[in-house]
Amino acid sequence: MPTFNSVKLLPVVLPQIEKVIPASAIHKKFIIDNFSTDDTMEVTESLGWTAIRNKIKGVENAQKYGFSLVETECYAVFEHDVFLAENWFKIIPPLVYSGEYDVAQGIRIVEIRGFRDADIYDYDSRIVTSQDNAFYRIGKDGLPLYDIWGLNYKGAPKGGMKIVRYCVRRDVCSRHLKGNLTDCLMRFYFIYRFANLSVFSLLRYFVSSPFLSLKIFKSTHGLSVLFVYPMERFFMLLGELTKKMIDG
């Protein structure tokens, strides 16, 4: 689990994971902390998880570092703000253990107008939706299957990557704990200060966001998404620009 300033969320999220997943099925449980400025690591340890400091700032770096520490054939990845669905363990891991899929996951929905519509649109239009709330099998080459983001929506590999058998179960729905609209926007602002994405990429996302929000509106009929989605992309860009200014 990658974390960043998660001190308020972990006392809710971590016990739920332990409630859903039997202790007998757990080998190790740890977080990779992305240089939090609060007591995230101390709270993590107090809840019985191992806290490990990220080596290089960046959400993607934290994810890859975590994957590099995997010791078992199969493993799970979660987000620090996802309240795991009660039926996750009964449905998701068996899809991988059976050999039918390499990766399986449920969905997670933000219960905030606008963000909820964007989530629903994503789950209806994508094969690969996220890296969290997912159960993975180590690849045949012995390396973790963390590079599934190279797949396009039709499942074809980019850059010569292997095709990964991926399953998303929409009947396993976790709650994405984002608080309110302000909390959501500020979380995107702070997270993308450490996301290692280029300003150009984020600017492109922001410029295209009004068009995509209109597409989402036509699909979900959620009026709020027309202004919420561009605001989300703006705060992502603002976080990266702030980072550039601080770093000089």
Q: How far is CA 79 from the centre of its chain?
A: 5
Confidence of residue 161 (pLDDT cuts 50, 70, 90): very low
Rg for the chain (alpha carbons), in Å?
18
Do residues 211 and 135 both lie within one domain?
no
Residue 182 pairs in a beta bridge with: none
Bigger pLDDT: 98 vs 142? 98
Structural domain including 131 reads 2-176
Classify 4 as helix, strand or coil: coil
What pLDDT does 16 receive? 97
Angle 169-20-167 from CA coordinates, rounded to 5°: 20
Q: What is the C-alpha to C-alpha distance for residues 130 and 173, in angstroms, rounded to an integer?
A: 13
**CATH value at residue 67:** 3.90.550.10
* Buried residues in 183-210 as b, exposed as e (16+ CB within 10 A): ebbebbbebbbbbebeeeebeebbeebe
pLDDT in tens, 72-116: 889 999 999 999 999 999 999 999 999 898 889 998 888 888 888
Q: In terms of domains, do 136 and 221 share one?
A: no
The reply to whether 55 and 119 lie within a common domain is: yes
The β-bridge partners of 166 are 103
Do 186 and 235 contact (CB within 8 A), yes or no?
A: yes
Q: Which residue has the higher pLDDT, 187 or 142?
A: 187
Return the pLDDT at 152: 40
Residues 195 and 155 in one domain: no
* Res 128 pLDDT > 70: no
What pLDDT, in 10s, does the model give residues 226-244?
999 899 889 888 888 887 7
- Full DSSP string of 99-162: TS-SEEEEEEEE-STTHHHHHHHHHHH-S---SSSEEEE--TTSS--GGGGG--TT---STTPP
- Separation between Cα atoms, residue 21 and residue 194, nearest integer Å: 30
pLDDT tens-place string over residues 11-39: 999 999 999 999 999 999 999 999 999 99
User: Both 89 and 139 in a single domain?
Assistant: yes
The pLDDT value recorded for residue 150 is 46
Rounded to two decimals, the pTM is 0.77
CB atoms within 10 A of CB 48: 10
Q: How far apart are CA 30 and CA 2, in angstroms?
A: 9
Report whether 119 contacts 109 (CB < 8 A): yes
Residues 124 and 40 both lie in one domain: yes
Ranking 105-109, 162-166, 198-202, 219-223 by mean pLDDT, the lowest is 162-166
| Shared domain check, 151 and 199 | no
**Do 101 and 218 fall into the same domain?**
no
Mean pLDDT of 158-171: 68
The chain-wide mean pLDDT, for the chain, equals 83
Domain co-membership, 243 together with 194: yes
